Amino acid sequence: MAICEIVTIGTELLLGEIQDTNSRFIARSLRDIGVDLYRLTTVGDNLNRITATLQEALMRADIVITTGGLGPTVDDPTRQAVANVFNVKLIYKEELWEQILERFSRYNRTPTENNKRQAYIPANSIAISNPVGTAPAFYVELGGKTLISLPGVPREMEYLMNHFVVEYLKHRYDLRDEIILPWVIHTISKGESSIDEIIGEMETLSNPTVGLLAHPGQTDIRVTAKAPSAAEAEEMMQPVLQEIREKLKDYIYGENETTLEQAVADLLNQSQTRVSIIESGTNSEVFEKLKRHMPDGQLSGDNVDLVFSGETLNLLMHEYQEQKNADMVLAIIVSSKDADPHVQIALLHNGQLSDVNRLYGGPSGDAVTWAVNYALDMIRWKLIEN
């Protein structure tokens, strides 16, 4: 079993100026060949801190993959940091400089003198050809340890992962085409702690593993299995998935790529239920989500700027039911005037009115997301009860 750590390098990442998409791509690539990823670290463009971070990572992991810091400028210190880790010098590689010159020439550009820095790599490293950029990548082997340094430009990093790193790691660590397969079960109506009370014992499993991820108003259950093939991994996790399905039943609205709005729209379409939606403070989010999955004429919606009392809203919903010829009317109002947003949701169906009227106690920025999820779930429960 090979263990990997990823180290992303760049002060711009720590300042939030750019988003780290490289780690996600690398993690998925490693997952697909059965390499366990235990840690992800981000460090700024500081030579001493990068050196220390890489030293620590190599003590813990078999494989360390870095991205970033391979450019031509003074604040691109990854090459020197790797040299420091192994106590070697940077050496100039004429063939790398020729590759850089050829790439500049191809686009009728002239390199500056500092581009020559990119032709220097640690003395004990082996260059990885980079036909899609000017930053040569490289790797270092020491016993059973491997350090691979890739460019931070996503397009370049992805190319090198696909065309070199994956196959190199499979060969070096004799990876027998293992795969780490994730499966996600989406639940709603129960919080993370409630889900944990029900399936907590399953979260101690080692293969497959079970973990929880909370979102505003809903909780995902991630089941992950490691096996020689996707089919074997899926077969391995089936008993766990089935037990979760049996224990949570109607609290599950979908799995993997299924969204809540898609699940609700499917129920509405199956029952041919006509829905009218009144929204305030949500930017018509419920309507916009549902209309992507529903035929014209089955869904109508209005965005209003008013906050209604319970009695007025009740009358308005009955008017909408009659005017829009709707089987179901949903009203969702989110008012953020106070510190704690106020949420009012009501659902009229078959002459029965269900409603919730409360302050949202979580982060105010999540109030609309929570309210939209709650409103969609009210529709879902009404349909599955019928």
pLDDT reported for residue 91: 92
The two beta strands, 299-303 and 252-255, are unpaired
CATH number of 180-255: 3.30.70.2860
pLDDT reported for residue 308: 65
Which residues of the chain fall short of a pLDDT of 70? 74, 107-108, 110-114, 177, 306-310, 337-338
Cβ partners under 8 Å of residue 146, min gap 6: 62, 63, 64, 139, 140, 169, 172
Helix, coil or strand: residue 147: strand
pLDDT reported for residue 177: 67
Architecture of domain 260-385 in CATH? Alpha-Beta Complex (3.90)
Q: Which residue has the tokens 């040299």?
A: 83
pLDDT reported for residue 116: 74
Task: Name 63's bridge partners.
Answer: 4, 146
C-alpha atoms less than 13 angstroms from C-alpha of 54 in its C-beta half-sphere = 30
pTM above 0.75, yes or no: no
Architecture of domain 3-172 in CATH? 3-Layer(aba) Sandwich (3.40)
Long-range contact pairs involving 123-129 (C-beta distance under 8 Å, separation at least 24): 123/83, 123/88, 123/89, 123/90, 123/91, 124/86, 124/88, 125/82, 125/149, 127/93, 127/95, 127/96, 128/160, 128/164, 128/165, 129/99, 129/164
Domain ranges of the chain: 3-172, 180-255, 260-385
What does the alpha-carbon distance between residue 309 and residue 247 come to, in Å, rounded to a whole number? 39
In terms of Cα–Cα distance, which of 41, 48, 35 is closest to 20? 41
What does the alpha-carbon distance between residue 29 and residue 150 come to, in Å, rounded to a whole number? 14
Are the C-beta atoms of 181 and 227 separated by less than 8 Å?
yes
- Per-residue DSSP letter, 204: G
What does the alpha-carbon distance between residue 202 and residue 249 come to, in Å, rounded to a whole number? 16
Q: What strand order describes the sheet that includes 252-255?
A: 209-215, 218-227, 179-188, 252-255
